[in-house]
Amino acid sequence: MKPADKMLGLYVHIPFCKQKCAYCDFYSLAGSEAQMDDYTEALCAHLAETAPFAAGHIVDTVYFGGGTPSYLGEKRLAKILKVILKKYRVQRDAEITLEANPDSANDWKALKALRKAGFNRISLGMQSACAEELAEIGRIHTIEQVKLAVEAARKAKFNNLSLDLIYGLPHQTMERWQANLAAAVELSPEHLSCYGLKVEEGTPLFARRDSADLPDDDAQSDMYLYTVEYLERMGYRQYEISNFARTGRESRHNLKYWTLGEYAGFGPGAHSDFGGVRYAYEKDLAGYIRGVQGSGPLLSESDRIPDMNRDTEWLMLGLRTVYGLDPRDYERRFRRRFTCFLPFLTQCAGAGYAVEEDGRWHLTPQGFLLSNQIITQMLEVQNTDKQRRAEATARGDFHVKLD
* Binding footprint of ligand SF4 on the chain (CB under 6 A): 17, 20-21, 24, 26, 28, 66-68, 101, 125
Between 73 and 296, whose beta carbon lies closer to ligand SF4?
73
Residue nearest to ligand SF4 according to CB distances in the complex: 24
**Nearest-approach distance from CB 36 to ligand SF4, in angstroms:** 15
**Nearest-approach distance from CB 20 to ligand SF4, in angstroms:** 5
Between 21 and 124, whose beta carbon lies closer to ligand SF4?
21
CA 202 to chain centre: 22
The 3 state secondary structure assigned to the chain is CCCCCEEEEEEEEECEECCCCCCCCCCCEECCHHHHHHHHHHHHHHHHHHHHHHCCEEEEEEEEEECCHHHHCHHHHHHHHHHHHHHCCEEEEEEEEEEECHHHCCCHHHHHHHHHHCCCEEEEEEECCCHHHHHHCCCCCCHHHHHHHHHHHHHCCCCCEEEEEEECCCCCCHHHHHHHHHHHHHCCCCEEEEEECCCCCCCHHHHCHHHCCCCCHHHHHHHHHHHHHHHHHCCCEEEECCEEECCCCCCHHHHHHHCCCCEEEECCCCEEEECCEEEEECCCHHHHHHHHCCCCCCEEEEEECCHHHCHHHHHHHHCCECCCECHHHHHHHHCCCCHHHHHHHHHHHHCCCEEEECCEEEECHHHHHCHHHHHHHHHHHHHHHHHHHHHHHHCCCCCCCCC
**Nearest-approach distance from CB 11 to ligand SF4, in angstroms:** 14
Tally of CB atoms within 10 A around 383: 11
**Nearest-approach distance from CB 347 to ligand SF4, in angstroms:** 39
**Nearest-approach distance from CB 277 to ligand SF4, in angstroms:** 27
Between 68 and 382, whose beta carbon lies closer to ligand SF4?
68
Between 26 and 230, whose beta carbon lies closer to ligand SF4?
26
**Nearest-approach distance from CB 65 to ligand SF4, in angstroms:** 9
Q: Count CA atoms closer than 13 A to 67's CA, side-chain side.
A: 31
**Nearest-approach distance from CB 17 to ligand SF4, in angstroms:** 3
Q: Which residues pair with 265 in a beta bridge?
A: 11
Q: Pick from 142, 140, 121: which is nearest to 131 by CA?
A: 142
Tally of CB atoms within 10 A around 144: 11
**Nearest-approach distance from CB 141 to ligand SF4, in angstroms:** 9
**Nearest-approach distance from CB 14 to ligand SF4, in angstroms:** 9
